[in-house]
Amino acid sequence: MTSQLFTPIALRGLTQPNRIVVAPMCQYSAIDGSATDWHILHLGSLAVAGPGLVMIEATGVEAEGRITPGCLGLYSDANEAALSRAVDACRAYGKAPIGIQLAHAGRKASCHVPWQGGGPLAAGDGAWQTVGPSAVSFDDGWHTPRALDRAGMDHVKAAFLAAAGRAQRLGLDLIEMHSAHGYLMHQFLSPFSNRRTDEYGGSLENRMRFPLEVARALRQTWPEDKPFGVRISASEWMDGGFTIDEAVIYCRALKAIGCDYICVSSGGNAAKARIPFGPNYQVPFAARIRKEAGIATRAVGLIVEPHQAEAILAEGEADMVALARGFLDDPHWVWHAAEALGADAVYPPQYLRCKPATWPGARIARGEPKTKVA
Ligand SMILES: Cc1cc2nc3c(=O)[nH]c(=O)nc-3n(C[C@H](O)[C@H](O)[C@H](O)COP(=O)(O)O)c2cc1C
């Protein structure tokens, strides 16, 4: 039987050669928002390894929208030039389409990188004023954001559009608006962070208004033949937060404005939420949104094994899967999945000799002869 995972998928003018996506992963290795050689190594090693799409990490649309001082940005000519080095290297040696996640961290900006604790920066560490829908901090001890007024919202929207223009100049294949994990768009959606009393707060219709406004503008500015997606947190895992029922309504509205897919994650906006981590723990959300909003979904979160990923697609729960830690652990996950599922994967010519079919002696030497599953 043909593997679903290795069946191409077309989104507008882009055909992803398979349905395996490298999830966006912050590397905290940029300088003033500009990509470094680390990004060439990191993205390059994944772009040559056969995925259907590589997503570039959450990329701040303005300096104040970065989570940490090490986060990637796309708000200056220098940022654009630096990222073009990494993108060009991926293009020169790899065949994977490349997308970028455009982000604004809102009240969760101005933090240390994770390996320095990840908490809010102190004034002496270069902390900056954060913004949010309301002046409500993420948790005790976190920065209190300045509530955005209309001029501030216009400024954020313009920053998203300018970054999308830069993404287009870089020749990227897809943009994704980050509306998950407690960052600015999610902050507008959630009653925990949005306490506004104007037309951007209160009812779901009001809480969705600004994210939809930005998404609509992005869709209009981004070339019509290129896909535009949104990553959402479909649940906050806590009473009183944004719910999966609301997420379905949000995704219907996103579909109506021309969004092509939803990457379905969860959590990130409620510091005290207890998330039931486990294999496929977010997949039921992707399945519901796919069914009830009628839009392509990308499932993500503790999808680790090839047969597990294949089953998600075969059972119609999602159209694509994304892996993050799985790719850090095994950058050649796609090749190993192809082997397990009896499918073909793309190898760069330099690495063709590692393809197990050409390498029987070595497999036996490894003591792990692998059987192909038809
Ligand atoms: C190192 C690292 C960086 C991440 N950075 C981002 C990011 O930039 N944007 C985002 O939406 N999610 C980010 N995530 C979350 C992943 O994209 C993914 O949703 C999550 O890790 C669950 O998938 P996994 O179980 O396959 O790792 C990051 C995760 C990791 C491990």
How much distance in Å is there from the Cα of 23 to the middle of ligand 1? 6
Cβ contact 163:75 at 8 Å: yes
Q: Kindly state the average pLDDT of the residues 163-182.
A: 98
Res 369 pLDDT > 90: no
Res 360 pLDDT > 80: no
**Can you give the pLDDT at residue 145?**
98
Q: How far apart are CA 50 and CA 326, in angstroms?
A: 14
Report in angstroms the alpha-carbon separations of 94 from 18, 44, 100, 301, 347.
Answer: 14, 7, 16, 25, 9
pLDDT band for position 366 (cuts 50, 70, 90): low
Degrees (nearest 5) of the Cα angle 320, 188, 235? 45
Q: Kindly state the average pLDDT of the residues 225-241.
A: 98
pLDDT band for position 358 (cuts 50, 70, 90): confident
How much distance in Å is there from the Cα of 25 to the middle of ligand 1? 5
- Ligand 1: does its nearest atom lie under 6 Å from the Cβ of 113? no
Cβ contact 28:72 at 8 Å: no
**Can you give the pLDDT at residue 245?**
98
Cβ contact 90:44 at 8 Å: yes
What atom in ligand 1 is closest to the CA of residue 322? 26
Sorted by sequence, the CB contacts under 8 Å of residue 370 that are 6+ apart come out as 339, 340, 356, 363
- pLDDT tens-digit series, residues 73-107: 999 999 999 999 999 999 999 999 999 999 999 99
pLDDT band for position 373 (cuts 50, 70, 90): very low
What atom in ligand 1 is closest to the CA of residue 101? 9
Q: Whose CA is nearest to atom 3 of ligand 1?
A: 25
- Ligand 1: does its nearest atom lie under 6 Å from the Cβ of 26? yes
Q: Phi, psi at residue 299, to the nearest 5°?
A: -90, 145
Structure tokens at 250: 């949000």
More confident residue, 130 or 361: 130
Degrees (nearest 5) of the Cα angle 44, 219, 95? 20
Sorted by sequence, the CB contacts under 8 Å of residue 149 that are 6+ apart come out as none
Q: Say if pTM beats, i.e. exceeds, 0.85.
A: yes
Mean pLDDT, rounded, of the chain: 96
Q: Kindly state the average pLDDT of the residues 39-54.
A: 98
**Whose structure tokens read 């997503």?**
55
What atom in ligand 1 is closest to the CA of residue 57? 8
Q: Which of 50-64, 91-105, 346-360 shows the lowest mean pLDDT across its residues?
A: 346-360
Res 347 pLDDT > 70: yes
**Can you give the pLDDT at residue 129?**
98
**Can you give the pLDDT at residue 356?**
81
Q: Kindly state the average pLDDT of the residues 59-64.
A: 98
- Ligand 1: does its nearest atom lie under 6 Å from the Cβ of 234? no
How much distance in Å is there from the Cα of 181 to the middle of ligand 1? 10
Res 203 pLDDT > 90: yes
Pairing of strands 9-11, 14-16: antiparallel
Cβ contact 327:26 at 8 Å: no
To 10 degrees, the CA torsion angle through 99, 104, 110, 112?
Answer: -30
- Ligand 1: does its nearest atom lie under 6 Å from the Cβ of 120? no
**Can you give the pLDDT at residue 374?**
37
Q: Tell me how many helices (H) and strands (E) the chain has.
A: 11, 12
Cα-Cα end-to-end distance for the chain = 6
Q: DSSP string covering 179-228, please?
A: E-TTSHHHHHH-TTT----STTSSSHHHHHHHHHHHHHHHHHHS-TTS-E
Best mutation site among 26, 113, 235, 312 for ligand 1, i.e. most ligand atoms within 8 A of its Cβ?
26
Q: How far apart are CA 344 and CA 361, in angstroms?
A: 20
- Ligand 1: does its nearest atom lie under 6 Å from the Cβ of 101? yes
Percent of the chain predicted with pLDDT > 70: 95
**Can you give the pLDDT at residue 357?**
77
- pLDDT tens-digit series, residues 12-32: 999 999 999 999 999 999 999
